[in-house]
Homo-oligomer: A and B are copies of this chain.
Amino acid sequence: MKVHNEYLTVQTKQKREFQNITPSVKFALEKSGIHDGLVLVSTLHSNAAVFINDEEPGLLADLDAWLEKVAPHGEDYKHSAKFESNASAHLQSLLVHHQVLVPISDGRLELGPWQSVIYAEFDGLRPKRILIKVMGE
C-alpha cells in the first residue's frame, strides 16, 4: 500500500467561511500516483469541519444559518468562559464532522455529480491546517 501526504493551510478572511477544497484533493491524488483506494481529508483543528455535500451557495447559506440555530454562538457555555474561542464552533464541528473519506477508483476521485469536498471554518482569520492523506495502490 502506498501512502502520500499533503498539507493544506487555509486562512479565511472571515470568522466563518465555507470553501470547496475538491481541487486540492484532486491535486494530492495526482501527485500520489495512486489508482485505487481512498483519500482521508481531515482538519487538524477542533473548531472546523470537512464534509462532502452540494456546494450550491444557497445551500451553504442555509447550512450556516442552521448550524447557528442548532448550536448557537453566545450561549452561556462553560468552555467559552475560560477560552477565547467559542464552544459553539466545537459543537458545530462535531455536528458536521471534522473528516471525510473520498473513494478513488480508476485514478479519479469517485464523487457523485452533486458532491464536493467542503471545508467549513467556524473560527477563522488565522492559519488552519488540513491533512490530505492518499492511500492505496
Contacts and interface: CB of A to CB of B under 8 A. Distances in A.
Contacts of A1: 1, 37, 136-137
Given A37-B3, A63-B91, A58 B42 contact: no
Contact of A94 (B63, B131, B137): B63
A136 B98 contact: no
Contact of A96 (B42, B62, B94, B100): B94
Contacts of A98: 52-53
Interface string A66-103: 10001100000111011100010011011111111101
A44 B111 CA distance: 6
Contacts of A59: 77-79, 87, 90
A26 interface: no
A17 interface: no
A119 interface: no
A97 B131 CA distance: 20
26 contacts: A38-B40, A40-B103, A43-B112, A44-B111, A44-B112, A44-B115, A45-B114, A46-B53, A46-B54, A46-B115, A53-B90, A53-B93, A53-B94, A57-B78, A58-B81, A58-B83, A59-B77, A59-B87, A62-B77, A62-B78, A63-B94, A70-B70, A97-B97, A99-B100, A110-B131, A112-B129
